[in-house]
Amino acid sequence: MKTRAIRLYGKKDLRLEEFELPPVNDDEILARVVSDSLCMSSYKASTQGADHKRIPDDVSEKPILIGHEFAGELIEVGSKWAGKFSKGQKFSIQPALNYKDGPVGILSAPGYSYQYIGGDATYVIIPNEVMEQDCLLIYKGEGYYPASLAEPLSCVIGAMHANYHTTPGSYVHDMDIADGGNMAILAGVGPMGLAAINYAINREDRKPNRLVITDIDQTRLDRAARLYTIQNAKEKGIEMHYINTSEGNPVEMLLDLTDHRGFDDVFVFAPVAPLIEQADAILAESGCLNFFAGPSDPNFKASLNFYNVHYKFTHVVGTSGGNNDDLKDALYYLSKGLDPAGLITHIGGLDAVPETTLNLPTIPGGKKLMYTQLDMPLTAIDEFREKGKTNKHFAILADICDAHNGIWSVEAENYLLAHPDSFN
């Protein structure tokens, strides 16, 4: 079986190549990839090369496939796994294997460490350890892009599960966000912030009574408010506010919303020291500050009020990705209709992956969703109408997106996949 794939050979050395996959062993599975959502983690891996903790030292001789937020369908199932998986099933992958015998040890992950599995490919071989770790998960919902976005959604689910609180006189940790409490998501209208908003509103077990989302970009705040409306949150029993903190005193503005009680859960979605200090200043008693954003600087620091740590029991947690249970939760909510399309702002094909990945920090907007079975330049959804003036297929996609509040949809995906040669 031949595959076309993006292979990493070293720092900023991404190549689109076609090559033969090895025969599938009895303990492996052959899969067709349909979609992959590009992640800043792939940018970091592509720019660091072998210096990255998840990439093998011999990557220049044995290039790896990049991409770890991918979905597709199973094509051929080895005999060892025939009782659990079957041809034609749609799937998502939990890339954090925690498998000691992987190519780089316990940090091995599809999309970083393997020669034959990664999201930016047409066909891949899923190795035995993925199934052994229960990291191949079946998706039963509509479309493919929701399953691609299951991994980033699982990251925010894991972050919320990692929060904890205590009660006076007890050192038992009540894990997860405070049910019925005050929650703030700072710098919260980027792709991962939108995922957190979506989940916080729609989860079935715990919800905040008050949810406050901040940013300093009014355009992005307005877009978030159109996607996840204050009225929809109200219908779910949540008082929601979108706050622009570019002017005035952010701490006072936020505390005023809680009658100066403070926030039980504060999530920080940008690695900015003043933002962390702002989060610390608005914590309620036993408030939990979750530093979600991963800094690239290993010496990144911010001030923390240790008086409040001691006397108000405030605390800090950090998470880096979700686990299997979090991904299962994500797939459950996606199959029940939670739509992550609002995260997506750009669509592209396999040929656009190298340039897009290496320039990801400078490309505005949200998630860049790549369809690996076709070639297509990276195109913002907002640009479909203009491109439709010379290409009728873009015009049709624009009509479909307009019918879905200006965002991507299963209908748009189906049209794109039905006309794979019409967008390059």
Chosen CATH of 1-149+340-424 out of 3.90.230.10, 3.90.180.10, 3.30.70.100, 3.40.47.10: 3.90.180.10
Residue 295: the pLDDT is 85
Q: Domain boundaries in the chain?
A: 1-149+340-424, 156-318
Residue 297: the pLDDT is 86
Residue 322: the pLDDT is 83
Residue 298: the pLDDT is 86
pLDDT digits (tens, 9 = 90+) for 93-126: 999 888 888 899 999 999 999 999 999 999 999 9
Report residue 196 as tokens: 């957190």
Pairing mode, strands 210-215 and 182-186 = parallel
Name the architecture of domain 156-318: 3-Layer(aba) Sandwich (3.40)
Type of residue numbered 147: A
Residue 321: the pLDDT is 78
Residue 424: the pLDDT is 86
Determine the Cα–Cα distance for residues 123 and 406; give it in Å rounded to an integer: 31
Q: Strand pairing partners for 289?
A: 266, 316
pTM of the predicted model as reported, rounded to 2 decimal places: 0.89
Cβ 92 vs Cβ 128: under 8 Å: no
Residue 138: the pLDDT is 95
Angle, helices 410-418/392-403, rounded to nearest 10 degrees: 160
Determine the Cα–Cα distance for residues 129 and 21; give it in Å rounded to an integer: 18
pLDDT digits (tens, 9 = 90+) for 170-205: 889 999 999 999 999 999 999 899 999 999 999 999
| Backbone phi and psi for residue 196, each to the nearest 5 degrees, phi listed first | -65, -40
Torsion of CA 140, 145, 150, 151, to 10 degrees: 140
Q: Which helix (H) or strand (E) holds 277?
A: helix 273-281
Residue 296: the pLDDT is 77
Residue 202: the pLDDT is 94
Residue 113: the pLDDT is 97
pLDDT digits (tens, 9 = 90+) for 332-358: 999 888 899 999 999 999 999 999 999
- For 382, other C-beta atoms within 10 Å of its C-beta total 13
Instruction: Collect the ranges in the chain with pLDDT lower than 50.
Output: none
